[in-house]
Structure 1
Amino acid sequence: MKPLLVACIGRTLTPAPLGRRDDDVEVRRVHVLPRATALDANRPTVILLDRTLLASVAGDRASLEELAAVAAIVGWGDTGEDAPRDDFPQDLLTSFVPGGAAPGTVITQLRGGFRHAACLVAARNAKAAEGERYHELTELTRVGVALSHERDLLTLLDMILSQSRRLTASDAGSIYLVEREEDGKPATLRFKLSQNHSLPNLPFTEFTVPVDHTSLSGYAAATGEPLVIPDVYLLPDDSSFKQNRSFDDKFGYRTKSMLVIPMKSHRDEIVGVLQLINRKRSAETRLGSPDKVQWEVISFDRRSVELVTALASQAAVAIENSLLYEDIERLFEGFVTAAVTAIESRDPTTHGHSGRVATMSVGLAEAVDRGGSGRYSGLRFSREQLRELRYAGLLHDFGKVGVREEVLVKEKKLYPHDLALIEHRFAFMIQGAELEFERARAAHLLRYGAMRYDEAVRELEGRLRARRLELEKYRRAILEANEPTVLHEGQFEELQRLGEQRYVDANGEERPLLDERELRFLSITKGNLDESERREIESHVTHTYRFLQQIPWTRELRGIPEIAYGHHEKLNGQGYPRQVGAPDIPVQTRMMTIADIYDALTASDRPYKRAVGVTEALDILHAEAREGLLDRELLGTFVDARVYEAVQAAA
């Protein structure tokens, strides 16, 4: 662009060329002084300010100052004036041309003015470039901070590609991630994400390309060097890599300029490849025709390469961190799965319970997040909080590893070995009755011979039969009392009578039919556990809390111990183990409590109780809510959203 000289119409300049050639400088004649906004700030401009042009601004100092900021102002005196008059803005003048000055003087002064004008343009450009660099640096810092906070890999990749396209005004782009062999060497690149401003609804399918020199992305990954290509259709014939035009042919797109950047970690390892397509003059333009592509698409310049390379380095670290975080999540998921397996291997009757509780707890939280009722209407849960709740649900019963297995799997009031011992006593007593029958029959023969033998045997058989019936009655009473049901008053009295029964053991010593411990177990009024066993079972909550406290949880998961600790507490303070009330029970724990009770009621694998149907289970939950034990609003959401159907579908 030629420099510009602005002068007043009617005054004659020197006939000598202002540049090396006559047409090196454009001369523009004007009636009035132009405003600064009418001039091209990027064009070196000199204004010859004489009395006529000065008068056109009527002493407007501000206008003159604005002009001096974008152009060199050279004063031009009238004939006989060797110095600027007092009304001239002398502090704003670059130089002064006396009236009637020799051509050489005029040219010297004007060329000095153009040098000053060029300096003004350079200073403005430098300031603009500084501002642009500051903006770029700020943007890179902002993007880097954003990348460091995102852990979901697909969201992270989308952010990387979007920001790269925004910084370079690219129409499209894609990201490939490295897949490694067992020895850690890059083997293939997996196509993970694509974006296209002109074709926003493209179908997406993952595929892999080898890390070699046959493709653009493979070449960048193999060499670690960026590729800057003005037009991929014009690659040299001897180029090892080629552009696959199948996409362009299929969707009517025209890929032209490309920037392919390897994403390197701080260890200089290739993590993936960032590929940007069709840098545009205007970021919002859609490339809908070949003419648009021809005019709008430009090459990626050096600054674009620098910017994207800097962003790619940050992206590589963020991707590595995200992949590492995923590995840690998988590792922890494996630990949780192993822990749940350990719990359920000790108590097979509750197989699947922890998983179902976790599923329903998270389902209830998601239902509340979508639109809870009452005081929970504005409650929201993040992805991390849902994961925290899920892990708490899976591990809420882990403390059962600290409970004796015989107590944990106890099905009846008596332990199997206790019942076997009692059965042995009955068998012994029946055997004793039969032996007594044989003794009495033999004694009759020895004493009386055949006299009245048949009559005696019938009498002895009657006694034996009566004894057997009596013992069977006792045995059935014990078996009935052994069931984990509510003990009625009549059964309790019968047990008391059984406790008074005696028998003679093999050593001839008289013993009670039921010892004190057996009688205590059989006299349990509800369920199958006595008080000490119940306390031992209830201790699993404290064991769980202490175990979970030992784990160095991340910040997002540190609430797991507290959530799991309260799953047997009640809002009215009548739960266990701490008997805390509503203010001390977190909302996540309240959700888990509802899920835990529902599953305990409906589970069909508990031998010590019958499973109830969905309707009856919900009725029981509503009854507990009315009594102030459970959260009524959360239970309402649990029922309205049919959260329980999630485990029914899984089953």
Structure 2
Amino acid sequence: MTGRDMRRVLTGCLALTALHDREALLSSILDTAMDIACCDAGTLYLLEEDALHFCRMVTRSQHIRQGGHNDPIQLPPVPLEEQYVCSWAAIHNTSINVPDVRQDTRFDFTGSLRYDAMTGYRTQSMLVVPLSNDQGDLIGVMQLINALDERGDTVPFDPDMEFLISAIASQAALSVVNMQYAEQITALLNSLVGALSSAIDERSPYNAHHTRNMVRIAEAFLDDLKRRGDVHAFDDRQRRAFLMSIWLHDVGKLTVPPEIMDKETRLGPLLNDIHDRFRIIRLLDRIALLEGRIDAQEQQRRAAALTEAAALVERVNTAGYLSDEDLDAVNRFALRSYIDEGGNPRPWFTEPELERLRVRRGTLTDGEREIMQNHVVVTSKILSHVSFPKLFSAVPHWAGAHHELLNGKGYPAHLTAEDIPTEVRILTILDVFEALTAQDRPYKPAMPVDRALKVLEEMVDEGAIDGELFRLFRESKAWECVLGGSGT
């Protein structure tokens, strides 16, 4: 082996270790071996379920390149039977050098010759090398075809080449196994995250589809960015990390009490307390009338006021927004009192009831909203204790910042534009959009898509969200994978 040969092998091995994409790695394994062996064609097989499956096929003189997700090879797998040269190499974990397949009687080459007849190619020399990991477990087989001399003529493979290709095959097997380990770890992490996300969502029947819908919309949006070739498009590694942050963005809701998470109305169970109290007040007024402490006109006046207050309570309890008029009415009735059975003055409404009745928007009081908003802080704390692989190292920050706004008015850290990366900007848009259009929220009806887009547009005008990313999102119509194309 010359120094030049050694450099070629080392360069090839280093190139394989630098790849992180499975499809690129498999293609590079075959191309690297063909370059070092100086041959015209080659096939890479991977072992699956006791058969060798075609993974890559290259014939340079005919400009043929097959294999991969976008161009699967439509050939049946080769069974592990010793009459086939690639299977023999796999079974015995030994390289085989065939100078001329037409003169060789050891193996059945009818498949290669049949392929030659179909394509006009002429297979002559062959070098078959098994790919095994450091434990000796077979990963696949590499079949190199038609070594070329300096004039470009087909010649047998140099026996010294077997060692070089075996070295490449060993590194290739190690790279494939390492990538398989990484994929298995990622798959395990994804399954755990998916299960955790489902548990979070299904704690509340009103939040059961939020995360899954966000992931589906995100995937459609990222696909659209990739089709456009937009500068914001993610590569595969960025995409996986970003989707992981969506799956985990609400993990902090594990600490939010269900009575806050599922709060459909302002008062909740306190409404029954008010009804019971009003019934008692009516009975006390009737007793006062019968005992002559008040007259009929006063009793009717009090009854009318109670009826008005009860109607106000019912209206405010479920209102999406508390008007100034209703707030004034609540404050007016807050001054009313009655005398209980023991002769003690009591207010019509307790302070906890008044706090809830004075909520301007939604159903949560300031204290309850603080607990709900704290879920992002808890999300960051929980995820900071997870030893994420390097690929997912930014996930805790992205997930914990999905309520931050570019104008600094978000929470919990009040970050501004320069501190909010693209991933968080997209996550915020997706979270707001899904929340607005969700059909399972207890405190509001689902908002039509056109109205939700208008709300997001207003947030752009306020400097809260990224205008360019919002424009791309709107043009993508990514939500149609969840909501359909009706716009509702």
Distance 1:408 1:231, change over 3 A: same
**What corresponds to 1:161 in structure 2?**
30
2:365 corresponds, among 530, 544, 547, to: 530
What letter corresponds to residue 493 of structure 1 in structure 2? D
Distance 1:195 1:464, change over 3 A: farther
2:59 corresponds to 1:196: yes
For the residues of structure 2 that align with 1:143 and 1:551, how far apart are their CA atoms?
35
Deviation at residue 535 of structure 1 after TM alignment: 0.8
Gaps of 5+ in 1: 1-129, 181-186, 286-295, 444-459
**Residues 366 and 381 in structure 1, CA contact (< 8 A), matched pair in contact too:** no
Distance 1:146 1:650, change over 3 A: farther
2:237 corresponds to 1:388: no
Q: How big is the alpha-carbon RMSD for the aligned residues of Structure 1 and Structure 2?
A: 3.4
**What corresponds to 1:576 in structure 2?**
411
**What corresponds to 2:42 in structure 1?**
173
**Count of residue correspondences:** 475
**Residues 281 and 338 in structure 2, CA contact (< 8 A), matched pair in contact too:** no
1:262 corresponds, among 130, 147, 153, to: 130
**Residues 602 and 617 in structure 1, CA contact (< 8 A), matched pair in contact too:** yes
2:445 corresponds to 1:607: no
**What corresponds to 1:184 in structure 2?**
none
**Residues 232 and 243 in structure 1, CA contact (< 8 A), matched pair in contact too:** no
Superposed counterparts of 1:214-225, under 5 Å: 214-225=83-94
Q: Which has the higher contact order (CA 8 A, sep 6+)?
A: 2
**What corresponds to 2:178 in structure 1?**
321
1:405 corresponds, among 258, 261, 265, to: 258
**Residues 284 and 340 in structure 2, CA contact (< 8 A), matched pair in contact too:** no
2:455 corresponds to 1:620: yes
For the residues of structure 2 that align with 1:463 and 1:609, how far apart are their CA atoms?
40
2:425 corresponds to 1:590: yes
**Residues 227 and 261 in structure 1, CA contact (< 8 A), matched pair in contact too:** yes
Question: What's the CA shift string for 1:537-593, capped at 9, x where partnerless?
Answer: 110111111111111122222111222222212222111111222222222211221
Deviation at residue 252 of structure 1 after TM alignment: 3.6
**What corresponds to 1:90 in structure 2?**
none
Deviation at residue 341 of structure 1 after TM alignment: 0.7
Deviation at residue 640 of structure 1 after TM alignment: 3.5
Percent of aligned positions that are identical: 30
Distance 1:138 1:650, change over 3 A: farther
| Worse-matched range after superposition: 516-525 or 273-282 | 273-282
TM-score by length of 2: 0.86
Question: What's the CA shift string for 1:373-431, capped at 9, x where partnerless?
Answer: xxxx855643222222221122111111122221111111112x32333344456667x
**Residues 56 and 65 in structure 2, CA contact (< 8 A), matched pair in contact too:** no
**Residues 278 and 297 in structure 1, CA contact (< 8 A), matched pair in contact too:** yes
For the residues of structure 1 that align with 2:118 and 2:447, how far apart are their CA atoms?
59
Distance 1:305 1:510, change over 3 A: same
What letter corresponds to residue 220 of structure 1 in structure 2? A
**What corresponds to 1:232 in structure 2?**
101
2:173 corresponds to 1:332: no
For the residues of structure 2 that align with 1:597 and 1:339, how far apart are their CA atoms?
22
For the residues of structure 1 that align with 2:390 and 2:319, how far apart are their CA atoms?
44
Distance 1:471 1:209, change over 3 A: farther
What letter corresponds to residue 422 of structure 1 in structure 2? I
**Residues 361 and 389 in structure 1, CA contact (< 8 A), matched pair in contact too:** no
Report SS of the residue matched to 1:542: helix
Larger Rg: 1
| Worse-matched range after superposition: 359-368 or 329-338 | 359-368
Superposed counterparts of 1:245-256, under 5 Å: 245-256=113-124
Question: What's the CA shift string for 1:488-547, capped at 9, x where partnerless?
Answer: 233223334544254757x99875443221122112122211111111111011111111
Report SS of the residue matched to 1:519: helix
Superposed counterparts of 1:504-523, under 5 Å: 504=340, 511-523=346-358
For the residues of structure 2 that align with 1:201 and 1:210, how far apart are their CA atoms?
23
For the residues of structure 2 that align with 1:277 and 1:424, how far apart are their CA atoms?
90
| Worse-matched range after superposition: 602-611 or 202-211 | 202-211
1:277 corresponds, among 112, 137, 145, to: 145
For the residues of structure 2 that align with 1:341 and 1:569, how far apart are their CA atoms?
24
**What corresponds to 1:342 in structure 2?**
199
**What corresponds to 2:271 in structure 1?**
419
What letter corresponds to residue 253 of structure 2 in structure 1? K
Gaps of 5+ in 2: 67-71
**Residues 364 and 591 in structure 1, CA contact (< 8 A), matched pair in contact too:** no
Report SS of the residue matched to 1:343: helix
